[in-house]
C-alpha cells in the first residue's frame, strides 16, 4: 500500500473514532456548551388569559438570570407558546417544543386537563417536566415519574382544607360549589365531597353548579346557587368566571361566605370583581406579594423586565416559584450537565427555600415537592394571612 494511501486510511479511521466518541452533552436534547433550552404552553389568550402572566413571569426572570451570566456559563432560552387553555393546542405546542425546538425541559404548562392530555407524550419522550401547573393528585399512582418534579398544590386536598375551615371556623352548615366543568373544577368538587363525608353531618353539600368555559352569562348559575340555600360557596373557576359569578350573586342580593382556590388569589380579582371580592377566603402556597421582602424583591425584578406584569403580580411571581426548583437543579448538577445528572441533583433537594417557593423536598422516591398551604382573606384590595401552614399527605 502506498504511503499516501496508508496515511489517508489512518486519517479516515481516526475520523471514525472521533465521530463514534460521545461528546459531553452531544446526545442531550436542549443542551449546548452555551445554552439550555426550556419551554412551556400556557393561555396567553382566551378565557384563562390572566393566568398567562405565569409564563410571562418566567420569561422575565430568565432574561434577568441571563443578564447575570446564566448558570455555569450557560444562558437559558425560554420558548413560550399560547394554547388558549385548549388541550388540543397544548398537545400540538408540546410536540413542537420537543420535536422542533428540542427543549431540555418543560416548565409549568397550565391546566389540569391540558397537563393530563400531554403527560404520556412528555414522559415517553423523557423530557424533564418541572411543576406542571395542574392538580397534583393526578400524579398519585402514576408510575412513570422519573422526569417529573412538582411544586404545585393538590386541588383535592385544598378543597378539603377550605371546606373544613368553612365548617369549623366560619360556622358554615350548607356548602355549594361553583366549578369549571373539567378536571380542574372536578378535582375541587371531589375535595369538597371528601371533607363533607369526613365531617359526618357537620356540613352538607347542597349544590354543585358547573359552568363551561365558553359561557359568559352566569345569571342562571347565580340563581341556582341562591336557590340551594347554601351559606357558603366554594369557587373553582378562571379569574374571569370567578369574578362574574360573585358579581352576579351580589346583584341578586345573595351574599354567602365565599371561599376560593389559590388560582384566584391574584389582586386582579379586586379589579375584575370589585367590592364583591371583599371577605373572600382563599389559600396560598408561597408568601404573597407585600408580605415578604424576598418575594417583593423578585417582583421588582419582573416589573423591570416586563412592566405589564404589574397588573398580575401574584401570577407573575408564581411563574418564578415554578421555575426556581429547575434553576436549583441546574446549579447542583454542575457544568457537566446531562439529564441523569440533573435528575440526581434534583433528588438531593431537602426543605429548600427559593426566593419565592419555600420548603421544597424531592428524593429518589419523592416527586411531590410541597404538601402545605395556608388560608388568607381578601380585605379592601389586600390579603390578610389567617393561618399557619396546613399540611396534607405526601402522595407521590
pLDDT in tens, 9-63: 434 434 433 333 333 434 699 999 999 999 999 999 999 999 999 999 999 999 9
| Mean pLDDT value across residues 298-327 | 97
Average pLDDT value for residue range 256-260: 98
- 271, 178: one domain: yes
In a domain? residue 341: yes
Residues 38 and 55: their CA atoms lie apart, in Å, by: 12
The owner of cell 429547575 is: 326
Q: What are phi and psi of 377, to 5 degrees?
A: -130, 135
Check whether residue 347 and residue 335 sit in a common domain.
yes
Residue 257: all three cell numbers together:
361566605
Do 251 and 111 reside in the same domain of the chain? no
pLDDT score at 311: 94
d(CA 17, CA 32): 22
In a domain, 43, yes or no: yes
Burial 114-124 (b: 16+ CB within 10 A, else e): bbbbbbeebbe
Q: Is the pLDDT of residue 373 over 60?
A: yes
Overall average pLDDT of the 245-257 stretch: 98
In a domain, 4, yes or no: no
Question: For residues 322 and 226, what is the distance between their CA atoms, to the nearest angstrom?
Answer: 37
Following DSSP, what letter does each residue of 340-368 receive, concatenated? HHHHHHHTT--SB--SS--SB--BTTB-B
Q: What is the pLDDT of residue 27?
A: 63
Stretch 162-172: mean pLDDT, rounded? 98
H and E: helices and strands count for the chain:
12, 14
Residues 171 and 127 in one domain: no
- Nearest-Å Rg of the Cα atoms of the chain is 24
What pLDDT, in 10s, does the model give residues 206-241?
999 999 999 999 999 999 999 999 999 999 999 999
318: confidence class by pLDDT, cuts 50, 70, 90: very high
Q: What is the pTM of this model?
A: 0.90
135 plus 200 within the same structural domain: no
Per-residue confidence band for 297, with pLDDT thresholds at 50, 70 and 90: very high
| Mean pLDDT of all residues in 154-158 | 97
The answer to whether residue 266 sits within a structural domain is yes
Strand partners, 207: 176
**16 domain-assigned:** no
Is there a domain that residue 234 lies in?
yes
Task: Answer yes or no: do 211 and 171 share one domain.
Answer: yes
pLDDT, residue 10, reads 38
Residue 103 domain-assigned (yes or no): yes
Q: Are residues 105 and 142 in the same domain?
A: yes
Say whether both 234 and 348 belong to one domain: no
Beta strand ranges found along 95-182 (DSSP E): 105-107, 128-130, 148-149, 174-180
Task: Give the model confidence (pLDDT) of 326-363 as tens digits.
Answer: 999 999 999 999 999 999 999 999 999 999 999 999 99
Enclosing domain of residue 138: 31-153+289-365
Number of folded domains in the chain?
2
Per the listing, cell 399512582 goes with 141
Residue 5 has pLDDT above 50, yes or no: no
Phi, psi of 388 (to 5 degrees): -80, -175
Considering the domain architecture, whether residues 169 and 142 belong to the same structural domain is answered as no
> Do 191 and 279 have their domain in common?
yes
| Domain harbouring 62, CATH code | 3.40.50.2300
Residue located via cell numbers 401570577 = 315
Same domain, 58 and 138: yes
In a domain, 351, yes or no: yes
Determine what percent of the chain is predicted with pLDDT higher than 70. 93
Are the beta carbons of 176 and 234 closer than 8 angstroms?
yes
Average confidence (pLDDT) over 172-194: 98
- 271 and 358 inside one domain: no
Q: What is the pLDDT of residue 355?
A: 97
Amino acid at each position: 500500500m502506498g504511503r499516501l494511501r496508508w496515511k489517508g486510511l489512518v486519517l479516515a479511521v481516526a475520523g471514525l473514532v472521533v465521530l463514534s466518541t460521545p461528546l459531553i452533552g452531544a446526545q442531550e436534547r436542549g443542551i449546548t456548551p452555551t445554552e439550555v433550552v426550556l419551554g412551556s404552553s400556557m393561555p396567553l389568550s382566551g378565557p384563562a388569559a390572566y393566568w398567562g402572566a405565569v409564563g410571562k413571569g418566567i420569561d422575565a426572570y430568565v432574561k434577568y438570570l441571563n443578564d447575570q451570566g446564566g448558570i455555569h456559563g450557560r444562558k437559558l432560552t425560554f420558548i413560550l407558546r399560547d394554547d388558549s387553555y385548549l388541550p388540543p393546542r397544548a398537545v400540538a405546542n408540546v410536540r413542537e417544543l420537543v420535536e422542533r425546538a428540542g427543549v431540555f425541559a418543560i416548565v409549568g404548562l397550565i391546566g389540569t386537563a391540558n397537563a393530563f392530555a400531554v403527560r404520556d407524550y412528555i414522559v415517553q419522550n423523557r423530557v424533564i417536566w418541572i411543576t406542571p401547573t395542574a392538580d397534583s393528585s393526578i400524579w398519585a399512582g402514576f408510575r412513570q415519574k422519573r422526569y417529573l418534579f412538582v411544586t404545585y398544590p393538590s386541588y383535592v386536598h385544598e378543597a378539603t382544607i377550605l371546606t373544613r375551615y368553612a365548617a369549623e371556623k366560619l360556622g358554615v352548615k350548607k356548602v355549594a360549589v361553583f366549578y369549571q366543568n373539567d378536571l380542574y373544577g372536578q378535582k375541587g368538587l371531589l375535595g369538597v365531597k371528601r371533607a363533607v363525608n369526613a365531617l359526618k353531618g357537620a356540613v352538607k353539600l347542597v349544590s354543585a353548579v358547573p359552568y363551561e368555559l365558553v359561557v359568559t352569562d352566569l345569571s342562571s348559575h347565580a340563581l341556582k346557587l341562591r336557590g340551594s340555600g347554601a351559606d357558603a360557596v366554594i369557587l373553582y373557576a378562571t379569574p374571569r368566571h370567578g369574578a362574574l359569578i360573585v358579581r352576579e350573586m351580589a346583584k341578586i342580593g345573595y351574599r354567602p361566605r365565599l371561599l376560593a382556590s389559590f388560582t384566584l388569589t391574584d389582586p386582579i380579582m379586586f379589579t375584575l370583581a370589585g367590592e364583591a371580592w371583599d371577605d373572600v377566603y382563599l389559600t396560598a402556597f408561597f408568601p404573597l406579594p407585600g408580605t415578604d421582602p424576598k418575594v417583593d424583591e423578585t417582583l421588582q425584578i419582573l416589573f423591570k423586565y416586563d412592566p405589564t406584569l404589574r397588573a398580575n403580580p401574584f401570577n407573575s411571581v408564581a411563574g418564578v416559584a415554578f421555575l426556581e426548583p429547575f434553576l436549583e437543579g441546574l446549579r447542583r448538577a454542575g457544568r457537566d450537565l446531562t439529564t441523569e445528572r440533573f435528575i440526581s441533583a434534583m433528588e438531593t433537594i431537602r426543605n429548600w427555600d427559593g426566593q419565592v417557593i419555600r420548603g421544597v423536598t424531592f428524593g429518589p422516591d419523592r416527586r411531590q415537592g410541597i404538601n402545605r398551604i395556608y388560608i388568607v382573606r381578601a380585605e379592601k384590595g389586600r390579603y390578610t394571612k389567617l393561618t399557619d401552614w396546613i399540611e396534607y399527605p405526601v402522595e407521590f
